[in-house]
Each structure stands twice: as structure tokens, then as C-alpha cells.
Structure 1
Amino acid sequence: MKRALAIGLVSAQFLLLAALVLLPHGALWPVNAGVLAAGILLVLAGAILAVLGARGLGPALTASPIPREHAPLVTSGVYGLVRSPIYTGLMTGGLGLALFGASVWHIVAWLCLVLLLSAKTRWEERMLVAEHPDYRDYGARVGRFLPGVGRLRPRP
């Protein structure tokens, strides 16, 4: 059951990212040089953040939100700034793609991606708290997607 949910969440995430690339362009706003520059910067920043997050995990990296057993808890590097840099990168890059798309459907797909990754993160963090006794203290210091925002409550 847990594995099936994980596969479904990862599949939905990739489908939403593909939708942001493949949906027909709209005309909600003009895609001028400023919008193109902002979109490119967001896509590049998102890609860099996601790659730094993936590299930082080392042996703990998995496509699934289910943490690898006995993998170390990574709290340094980009993980010292945010707890979910890969997801932050995907949301940031997705926002850049939505800017390029300029349609209601792009906005809807991006919002669905944000909601999906938020739910996925909360589920993943419950498993990380169970796997790593220090995770709650780490989460109380470091924001979820943005530095300082979305910290966990400290242990009672």
C-alpha cells in the first residue's frame, strides 16, 4: 500500500511537470522579454536547487518519498537552508514553465504541483521523524520549502 501510494505520487508529479511543458500556450499575459527572462531564471534556479538537493542526499537519494532504511539524515549544504530543496526546485522551475505557458491551465497545473508536493512532503516527513530521532529538532530549525518558513514544532 505504501509503495503504491509512493509510485502514484511520483507519477502524478511527473505528469504535472509534463503538463506544464506540453499544455498549449495561452494569452493571459504577454510573453515578452521580461516574462521570458523571469521564466528562464526560475527554471534554471529550480533546476540548480533540485540538482544540489539530489547530490546532497548521496546514498539517501531515492525517487520515492519513502526514506531509505539506515540512510543518514542530511542536514548540511542546501539542506541547512531548506528541508526539501528538490521539491522547492521543482516548484520554482514549474512556476517558470507556467510563466511561459501564460494560460489558466498552466496556473492550475502549477498549483496542483505545489499541493501535491506539499502533501507528499508532509507524508515523507512523518516517516523521517519515525526513522530519525533528530529530524524533529532539525525541522524546528530549518524551513520546509523556504528558509525559516514551515518549521516543525519543537519536541514537547
Structure 2
Amino acid sequence: MKRALAIGLVSVQLLLLAALVLLPHGSLWSVNAGVLAAAIVLGLAGAILAVLGLRGLGPALTASPIPREHALLVTSGVYGRIRNPIYTGLMTGGLGLALFGASVWHILAWLALVLLLAAKTRWEERMLVAEHPDYRDYGARVGRFVPGAGRLRPPSRPDPRDSRRDQPGSTP
């Protein structure tokens, strides 16, 4: 069941990215030199970020959102600034494609991609917390898609006062 869901999510993600490339150009706004430049910058920035994320994972890389068993948790390089650089790169590049496409369909495809990647990330992170005991601490320090934003709640720490209650001769 888990593998089928993973394949389905990745397939929809690829379809949305293909839609952003293949949808007919619209006329919601004029694609002048400024819009074209912004679209190119967003596209290149997204591609660079995604490639840095892919390279940074090394042997932990998998096409599936299901973490590779026994792979080390990567928290350095671009992963030291954001937890999901590949997804951030896809969203950023997708925004560039939507800007260039200038249609309602491009906007809807991009929004669907963002929502899909956000949901996929939450599912993936639940599995990473189960696989890597240090993931919650890492997630509390590092933003989800942009630095500083979307951090996880830190793990609850036992109150040291609670441990004194269990000792003989202590008063509650």
C-alpha cells in the first residue's frame, strides 16, 4: 500500500511538471523581457537547487518518498539550510514555468504541484522521524522549504523536576 501511494504521488508530480512545460501559452499577462528574465532566473535557481539536493543525498537518494533503509541522515550542505531542497527547487522552477506560461492552467498546475509536494513532504517526514531518531531535532533547527520557515516542533524534553518526584524522600 505504501509503495503504491509513493508511486502514485511521484507520477502525479511528474504529470504536473510535464503540464507546466506542455500546456499552451496563455495571455493572462504579457510575457515581456522582465517576465521572461524572472521566469529564467526562477527556472535556473530551481534547477540548481534541485541538483544540489540530488547530489547532496548521495546513497540516501531514492525516487520514492519512502526513505532508503539504513541510509544516513543528510544534514550538511544545502540540507543544512533547508530540509527539502529538491522539492523547493521543483516549486521554484515550476513557478518560473507558470510565469512564462501566463495562463490560468499554468497557475492551477503550479498550485497543485505545491500542494502535492507539501503533502508528500509531511508524509515523508513522518517516515524520516521513525527511521532517524535525530530527525526531529534536525527539523526543529532547519526550515522545510525555505531557511527558518516550517520548522518542526522540538522534541518534548522531560522536565528535570519530574525525575526528582520519583526519588525516595522527595515531596511532590
Q: Does 1:141 align with 2:125?
A: no
Q: TM-score, normalised by structure 1?
A: 1.00
Establish whether residue 12 from structure 1 lines up as the match of residue 4 from structure 2.
Answer: no
Q: What is the number of equivalent residue pairs in this alignment?
A: 156
Q: What's the counterpart of residue 42 of structure 1? A: 42
User: Aligned-pair distance for 1:15?
Assistant: 0.1
How far 1:45 sits from its partner (Å)? 0.3
Identity %: 88
TM-score norm. by structure 2 comes to: 0.90
Deviation readout 1:59-112 (Å, 9 max, x if unpaired): 000000000000000000000010000000000000000001000000000000
Match of 1:29, as an amino acid?
W
| 1:154 match | 154
Distance 2:53 2:25 in 1: 30
Tell me the amino acid that sits aligned with residue 147 of structure 1: P
Q: What is the deviation of 1:130?
A: 0.1
**2:54 counterpart SS class:** helix
| CA distance in structure 1 between the partners assigned to 2:10 and 2:66 by the alignment | 11
Residue identity in the other structure for 1:57:
L
Pairwise CA RMSD: 0.3
- CA deviation profile, 1:9-49 (whole Å, cap 9, x unmatched): 00000000000000011110000000000000000000000
SS in 1 for 2:83: coil
Partner of 1:64, secondary structure, is coil
Shift of 1:131: 0.1
Deviation of residue 58 (structure 1)?
Answer: 0.2
SS of equivalent residue, structure 2 residue 58: helix
Unmatched tracts of structure 2, length 5 or more: 157-172
What amino acid sits opposite 1:73 in the alignment? L
- Residue 3 of structure 2: aligned partner: 3
Q: Is the aligned partner of 1:21 residue 2:46?
A: no
2:103 counterpart of 1:74: no
Q: Distance in 1 between the 2:72 and 2:104 partners?
A: 41
Q: Which of the two has higher C-alpha Rg?
A: 2
- In structure 1, the residue matched to 2:114 is 114
